[in-house]
């Protein structure tokens, strides 16, 4: 699991820096466990990466990071340690920390996107040249991207064979317990104060709707436990219903590494053995964890996925410039209730149900013909679970340009999707309250309501709620015509 360079005995007395990144937990954290097992004093470190090449975290992610670092810092303090906070260029910060503390080793759990891979390998070769031991581990995937290969030794491009191979490879490593104590170094290096990073938004504080979330390791464990003793039993069907609490809501916890997929894997298997979770539902749930793995695999092998179409034929597609359309979409004012409900849920809570993510993404890409990259960027800023691999791969999946993607010509109809997955309009009524009193049969298409229904519900189309900004049937034809150019180029 780990890849340690030979240890230099002359330096082994120095403390170990444990560089936390997207692994903000103490239990089942291989880098931390290895560092503690080395017998060295431990300097836990988090660096807010700020260099021109690093993609800055979005606003919602910064909110989560603030809370998660607080929880991690408290857990470390309870074990006799201290979480050191630095911001700037990680290579520079690490050098400074090593000089200040005499550290002889740096431990981290690996990341798989292009910038992190380049940064980490640069740091590794620089520090190794100075006889600092570097130990890197797998803390966030069931299988690392280079380990899963098809019969010809190549990376998979299609999910089903990928997951068949990958799930058979998951090993049975027992959970690594959280260390009971973190031996402190003789000298603590200087640390920033978290409050000075101003990660929590002020003027205005737009995060008040995030209060249902509990960032941190304990919050992640509670979310998993709640899911495994409740919603998992109906997961296969309910996961598609945005008006029902049918999913785990683990994605931000997974992104920040407050829980790892191995912990989930073991807990799901334990629940099936106890009979608490039906096998078929557990399989479906684990296959979603499989999609998360697959997307990391794709990003690693096609590192420009957040920028470039996975299928180059899509480079022929002519996107529209449509600022009013983008604005209406991002503000939840398109006149299509399920789209508007999703975009408002996102803005208010930092989350959006997966089914609705697919519907709103399809609307932006196909009904408005706005470049998927703009949608990806909006999600990057507003999602609490914003993740380079998951976000880019899913946007490209909806666009049709991605690996194993939905075909471009499958264009979601926002009305029939709403009717099918939110049949009583529970979700729309919650997030688009100005439509709450419309009857069930028209709630997903208010323009089809009778004047009497509209009046009784207090809805004045174009005034209290927008008329549709595009006619879906015409928009669909327009998108299919544009897609013909892609098909001809493929
Ligand atoms: P559950 O249904 O409980 O699933 C359990 C876990 O499986 C999730 O936490 C997640 O880690 C994984 N998972 C579930 N669905 C998917 C999927 N479609 N792709 C990859 N992994 C999945 N997810 C992110 O974590 N970050 C993103 O930035 C992100 N952007 C997305 C953008 C679009 C356009 C779409 C359509 C989906 C995106 N997703 C993203 C995937 C998915 O919507 C979320 O992972 C899911 O809604 C999280 O809710 P949950 O934890 O309750 O999921």
Instruction: Tell me the pLDDT tens digit for each residue of 69-119.
Output: 999 999 999 999 999 999 999 999 999 999 999 999 999 999 999 999 999
Pocket test for ligand 1, best of 57, 385, 400, 402 (most atoms within 8 A of CB): 385
Q: What are the tens digits of pLDDT across the range 162-216?
A: 999 999 999 888 999 999 999 999 999 999 999 999 999 998 999 999 999 999 9
Residue nearest to atom 14 of ligand 1 (CA): 288
For residue 447, give Cα distances in angstroms to 214, 291, 443, 451.
39, 38, 9, 9
Ligand 1 contact via 384 beta carbon (within 6 Å): no
Contact, 433 vs 454, CB < 8 A? Answer: no
Q: What is the pLDDT of residues 237-284, one digit of tens each?
A: 999 999 999 999 999 999 999 999 999 999 999 999 999 899 999 999
Mean pLDDT estimate for the chain: 95
Q: How confident is the model at residue 235 (pLDDT cuts 50, 70, 90)?
A: very high
CA count, 13 A, side-chain hemisphere, 194: 19
**pLDDT-based confidence at residue 17 (cuts at 50, 70, 90):** very high
User: 266 CB contacts (<8 Å, ≥6 apart)?
Assistant: 175
Per-residue confidence band for 408, with pLDDT thresholds at 50, 70 and 90: confident
Q: If pLDDT is split at 50, 70 and 90, which confidence band does 490 have?
A: low
Specify whether the CB–CB gap between 87 and 50 falls below 8 A. yes
Mutate to test the pocket of ligand 1, among 22, 263, 282, 390 (most ligand atoms within 8 A of CB): 390
Distances (CA, A) of 198 to 19, 66, 68, 70, 194: 21, 8, 14, 13, 7
pTM value is 0.96
Give the total residue count for the chain: 490
Q: Which two structure tokens, joined as six digits, stand for 56?
A: 């800055």
Q: Which atom, in ligand 1's list, is nearest to the CA of 250?
A: 51
Interacting residues of 397 by C-beta distance below 8 A, sequence separation 6+: 403, 404, 405, 406
Closest CA to 395 of 356, 362, 369: 362
Alpha-carbon distance of 110 to 139, in angstroms, equals: 7
Regarding the beta carbon of 297 and ligand 1, being less than 6 Å apart is answered no
Expressed in angstroms, the distance from the first to the final Cα of the chain is 41
C-beta separation of 150 from 15 below 8 A: no
Q: From the CB of 140, is ligand 1 less than 6 Å away?
A: no
Count CB neighbours of 153 within 10 A: 6
Percent of the chain at pLDDT above 90? 92
**Does residue 337 contact residue 351 with C-beta atoms inside 8 Å?**
no
Sequence-distant (≥ 6) Cβ neighbours of residue 272 within 8 angstroms: 278, 279, 282
Q: Is the CB of 349 under 6 A from ligand 1?
A: no
3-state SS, residue 154 = coil
The Å distance, Cα 251 to ligand 1 centre, comes to 6
Choose among 311, 254, 301, 300: nearest CA to 139. 254
Mean pLDDT along residues 323-350: 98
Q: Is the CB of 251 under 6 A from ligand 1?
A: yes
Distance of CA 7 to the CA centre of its chain: 36
Name the β-bridge partners of 134: 106
Q: Is the CB of 358 under 6 A from ligand 1?
A: yes
pLDDT at 12 over 70: no
Q: Whose CA is nearest to atom 37 of ligand 1?
A: 394
CA distance 390 to 21: 17
Residue 8 has pLDDT above 60, yes or no: no
* pLDDT number for residue 3: 42
Q: How confident is the model at residue 4 (pLDDT cuts 50, 70, 90)?
A: very low
Whether the Cβ atoms of residue 160 and residue 287 lie closer than 8 Å to each other: no
State the pLDDT confidence band at 489, using cuts at 50, 70 and 90.
low
């Amino acid at each position: 699991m780990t890849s340690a360079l030979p240890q230099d005995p002359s330096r082994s007395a120095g403390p170990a820096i444990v560089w936390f990144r997207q692994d903000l937990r103490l239990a089942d954290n291989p880098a931390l466990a290895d560092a503690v097992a080395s017998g060295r004093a431990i300097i836990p470190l988090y660096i807010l990466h700020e260099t021109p090449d690093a993609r800055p975290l979005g606003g919602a992610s910064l909110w989560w990071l603030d809370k998660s670092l607080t929880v991690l810092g408290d857990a470390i303090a309870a074990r006799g340690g201290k979480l050191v906070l630095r911001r700037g260029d990680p290579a520079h910060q690490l050098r400074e920390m090593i000089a200040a503390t005499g550290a002889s080793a740096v431990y981290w759990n690996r990341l798989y996107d292009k910038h992190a891979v380049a940064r980490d390998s640069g740091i590794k070769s620089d520090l190794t040249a100075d006889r600092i031991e570097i130990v890197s581990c797998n803390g966030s995937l069931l299988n690392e991207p280079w380990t899963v290969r098809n019969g010809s030794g190549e990376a998979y491009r299609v999910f089903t064979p990928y997951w068949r191979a990958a799930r058979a490879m998951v090993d049975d490593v027992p959970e690594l317990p959280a260390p009971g104590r973190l031996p402190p170094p003789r000298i603590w290096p200087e640390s920033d104060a978290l409050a000075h990073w101003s990660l929590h938004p002020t003027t205005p504080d737009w995060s008040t709707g995030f209060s249902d979330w509990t960032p941190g390791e304990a919050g992640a464990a509670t979310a998993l436990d709640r899911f495994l003793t409740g919603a998992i039993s109906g997961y296969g069907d309910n996961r598609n219903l945005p008006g029902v609490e049918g999913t785990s809501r683990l994605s931000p916890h997974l992104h920040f590494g407050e829980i790892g997929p191995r912990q989930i894997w073991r807990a799901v298997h334990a629940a099936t053995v106890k009979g608490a979770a039906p096998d078929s539902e557990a399989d479906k749930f684990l296959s979603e964890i499989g999609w998360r793995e697959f997307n990391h695999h794709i990003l690693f092998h096609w590192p420009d996925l957040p920028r470039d179409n996975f299928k180059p034929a899509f480079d022929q597609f002519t996107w529209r410039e449509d600022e009013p359309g983008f604005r209406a979409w991002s503000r939840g004012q398109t006149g299509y209730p399920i789209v508007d409900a999703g975009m408002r849920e996102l803005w208010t809570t930092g989350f959006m149900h997966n089914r609705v993510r697919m519907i709103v993404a399809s609307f932006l890409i196909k009904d408005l013909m706005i470049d998927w990259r703009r949608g990806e960027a909006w999600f990057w800023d507003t999602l609490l679970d914003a993740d380079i691999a998951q976000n880019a791969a899913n946007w490209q999946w909806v666009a049709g340009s991605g690996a194993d993607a939905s075909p471009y010509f499958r264009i979601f109809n926002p009305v029939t999707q709403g009717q099918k997955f939110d049949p009583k309009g529970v979700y729309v009524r919650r997030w688009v309250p100005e439509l709450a009193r419309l009857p069930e049969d028209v709630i997903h298409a208010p323009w089809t309501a009778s004047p009497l229904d509209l009046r009784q519900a207090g809805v004045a189309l174009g005034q209290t709620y927008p008329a549709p900004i595009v006619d879906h049937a015409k928009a669909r034809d327009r998108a299919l015509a544009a897609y013909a150019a892609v098909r001809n180029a493929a």
